[in-house]
Amino acid sequence: MTWVTIGRLEDIPLRGARCVDTPEGRIAVFRTADNQVFAMEDSCPHKRGPLSQGIVHGTSVTCPLHNWVISLESGSAQGADVGQVRTMAVRNDNGALLLELTELRVAAE
């Protein structure tokens, strides 16, 4: 488990998301209207839609491909849909964002 600096809060649009490429794959980092930050795999449990491209509302995101709604807090699909996205811890230290990664790997040169 390592905390990795990924950037600053202002780098992410309000009610928006940015991506972080890591050895664990592409992670979506979300910023809500009230400046909470969440991170999860950028892959919808339905058909791998890129959740970072969805519309963020409250503490949920709606997938751009077929409109599943995923809770940013728990990573689980809302409503009648069933599915789970892996979430990761992300910390906001006075505007600096740190993401917790389990797996570290040397980049392939």
Partner 1 sequence: MTEKLVIIGNGMAPGRMLDELFEKAPGAYDVTIFNAEPRVNYDRIMLSPVLSGEKSYDDIIIHDEAWYERNGVTLLKGARVTEIDRESRTVTAADGRTASYDKLVIATGSSPIIIPVPGHQLPGVLAYRDLDDVERMLEIARNGGRAIVIGGGLLGLEAAYGLKRQGMEVTVIHLMPTIMERQLDPPAAYMLKKALGDRGIDIITKANTKAILGTDKVEGIELDDGRIIPGEMVVMAVGIRPNATLARAAGLTVNRGIVVDDGMATSDPNIYSLGECAEHRGVCYGLVAPLYESARALADRLAGGSAEYQGSVTNTKLKVTGINLFSAGDFAEAPDREEIVLRDAAAGVYKRLVLKDNRIVGTVLYGDTADGSWFFDLMKKGSDVSAMRDTLIFGQSFQGGAPLDPMAAVAALPDDAEICGCNGVCKGKITSTITAKGLTTLNEVRAHTKASASCGNCTGLVEQLMKLTLGDRYNPAAVTPMCDCTDLGHDDVRRLIIAKGLKTIPAVMQELEWKTSCGCAKCRPALNYYLVCDWPDEYADDYQSRFINERVHANIQKDGTYSVVPRMWGGVTSAAELRAIADVVDKFEVPMVKVTGGQRIDLLGIQKEDLPAVWADLGKAGFVSGQAYAKGLRTVKTCVGSDWCRFGTQDSTGLGIRLEKFMWGSWTPAKLKLAVSGCPRNCAEATCKDIGVICVDSGFEIHFAGAAGLEIKGTEVLGQVKTEDEALEYIVALTQMYREQGRYLERIYKWAKRVGLDEIRRQIMDDAEKRKGYFDRFVFSQKFAQVDPWSERVSGKDKHEFKPLVVTGFSEAAE
Contacts with partner 1 by CB under 8 A lie at 2, 4-7, 11-16, 18-24, 26, 29, 32-34, 47-50, 53-58, 60, 62, 64-65, 67, 69, 79-80, 82-83, 99, 101, 103-107
Quick one: which of 49, 52, 88, 101 contacts ligand FES (CB under 6 A)? Answer: 49
Considering beta carbons, is residue 48 or 91 the nearer one to ligand FES? 48
68 binds, among partner 1, ligand FES, none (CB under 5 to 8 A by kind): ligand FES
Question: Apex CA 72: angle with CA 69 and CA 78, to 5°?
Answer: 30
Residues forming a β-bridge with 70: 61, 77
For residue 65, the 8-state DSSP code is: T
Q: Tell me the torsion sign for CA atoms 84, 89, 94, 97.
A: negative
Report the nearest approach of ligand FES to the CB of residue 31 (Å). 20
HSE-CB for 56 with a 13 A CA cutoff: 26
- Interface residue with ligand FES, options 8, 47, 86, 91 (CB under 6 A): 47
The site for ligand FES (CB under 6 A) is made up of 44, 46-49, 63, 65-68
